[in-house]
Structure 1
Amino acid sequence: MNLKILPTVLVSLAVAAAPAWTGAAPAKMDRTVTASTSAPREPAPTLEGFAPAPELRGVHFDFNRSKIRAADARILDRNAEWLKANSSVMVAIDGGADQRGSIPYNQRLSERRARAVRDYLVARGVSADRIVEVGDGERLLACRAMGEACWQKNRRADFLVKDIGKQAP
């Protein structure tokens, strides 16, 4: 290979591999979770019928992590208490990621974040049968600007609820 053109080839490959940033607002998205592997799975859950609950606060994550932070653990403790006191609601945990990383990686990371929140709530007495996990990857961004202040808002797990019309035992 001609070593004189190697830098040009490497730069071209890096530019081609970088995600495009248009800044345009996304079209309305279907919030159906897609499977992250090719293995057969149950149908992906949707958020149809779920709505935000002002009583439940979302939590945020460090870059490239799905571990619950100490400050967010206190939020989840309050959320768990509210969910135990309101057993007629089902909760959806909607995980997200910032724009950095590949789309498949961000999808898996957002699913791990939703699972970490679910596991935390179950460990505090919320029935696993009342929890739906959804990973949105980077599809539904809370903030579109570039920079850490914005990216932090996208590394999150939000809560949505729907009334299931019965009291859990």
Structure 2
Amino acid sequence: MTPTDLRPRTVADSALTLTQFMQPEHSNSLGTVHGGVLLKLCDECGGIVASRHARRPAVTVTVDSVTFHQPVYVGQLLLVHGRITYVGRTSMEVELRVEAENLLTGEITHTNSAYFVYVALDDQLRPTAVPPLDLQNDEERRRFEEGRRRQEIRLSRRHTP
């Protein structure tokens, strides 16, 4: 990677909203959307956000947390909003917010929240440096600091037996 590829990028540079209409094949035995479908869509959105930021392939390292707030129903439009919250040397944390829209009423429900962590890969499929974040406002600086603390916790768990 050349030094020009590591120019700072803003959160907005890589942010994404992925949408998917929920069909019967997405449902579980209870008639709601299967949690695994939601996780797959979160991982797709997060991976795109990470690759956009790094302009390199990015792979999932860990799913830091996933919270299921409300069920998603067949016939709803799912919106997965992803944005970078923290970057380290090779890793990127992506915050994912999942919403379900009732197309007939316009009601939008916050259904899931998650943090996924990705690592950028070089041409030999080894971890490689990622651009720093150009934080534009106090909210982005707060999210970055919270992400830094989560990363410290993740790293401390790696070194405990």
Shorter-normalised TM range: under 0.3
The structure with more radius of gyration? 1
TM-score by length of 1: 0.27
Output the TM-score relative to the length of structure 2: 0.28
Structure holding more strand per residue: 2
